[in-house]
Amino acid sequence: MRLIVAAVGRLKKGSESELSERYRKRAMQSGRSCGMRIFDIIEIRESRAPDPERRMLEESIALANIIPPDAAVALLDARGENLDSAGFAAQLAQWRAQNLPAAVFLIGGADGLAPSLHEKASRKLAFGTATWPHQLVRIMLLEQLYRATTILSGHPYHRA
């Protein structure tokens, strides 16, 4: 199964980018043993439209265009469900058992995501009720993907 993190905005060179890449590589390595072979990060350019609704729409269209057919779609949203790490791993395992070609995790821009993407999502996830910078959400998601692949592969990284 292919894992895709699609995010509006780019990480600048530096510690955030390095940490993001470190967790992506770790998730890719540990994911191989549990059927998650490809791990992509796709960055969508932030819209320059002056109107927030237009920015949200343009960014959402760009995100929708990268979702492969028949993929599971998880949307990161402050109003989403808070899963613990074992539950997150179980969700990945369920999608894998359904033989889905990909699981796509969408991180919107500052203006959020269009209702059409909310409707397309099979899961809405949150990292608590606090508001987080998009760069940190990406890093936290990548760490959770790494943790989930270690749980699924039996690696001792996760300690409950």
Cα–Cα separations (whole angstroms), residue 112 to 59, 76, 147, 160: 9, 10, 26, 33
- Domain contains 147: yes
CATH of the domain at 144: 3.40.1280.10
Q: Which residue has the tokens 């699924």?
A: 152
Band of residue 151 on the pLDDT scale cut at 50, 70, 90: very high
- Domain contains 158: no
pLDDT tens, residue by residue, 54-91: 999 999 999 999 999 999 999 999 889 999 999 999 99
Helix extents (H) in 32-110 = 52-64, 85-97
With CA atoms as reference, report the closest residue to 68 among 103, 106, 109. Answer: 103
| Per-residue pLDDT at 46 | 95
- Domain contains 108: yes
| Per-residue pLDDT at 30 | 92
Give mean pLDDT, residues 123-141: 92
Band of residue 155 on the pLDDT scale cut at 50, 70, 90: confident
| Per-residue pLDDT at 159 | 67
Q: How many domains does the chain have?
A: 1
- Domain contains 101: yes
Cβ count within 10 A of residue 14 = 9
What sign for the dihedral angle of Cα 6, 11, 13, 17?
negative
- Residue 46 sits in which domain range? 2-153
What pTM does this model have? 0.94
Q: Which residues pair with 124 in a beta bridge?
A: 75
> Are 103 and 95 in contact, with CB atoms under 8 Å apart?
yes
30 token code pair: 């540990």
Q: Is pLDDT at 94 greater than 90 in this prediction?
A: yes
| Per-residue pLDDT at 113 | 94
What lies within 8 Å, CB to CB, of 11 at 6+ separation is 17, 20, 43, 135, 138
Show the CA angle centred on residue 62, arms to residues 52 and 128, nearest 5°: 65
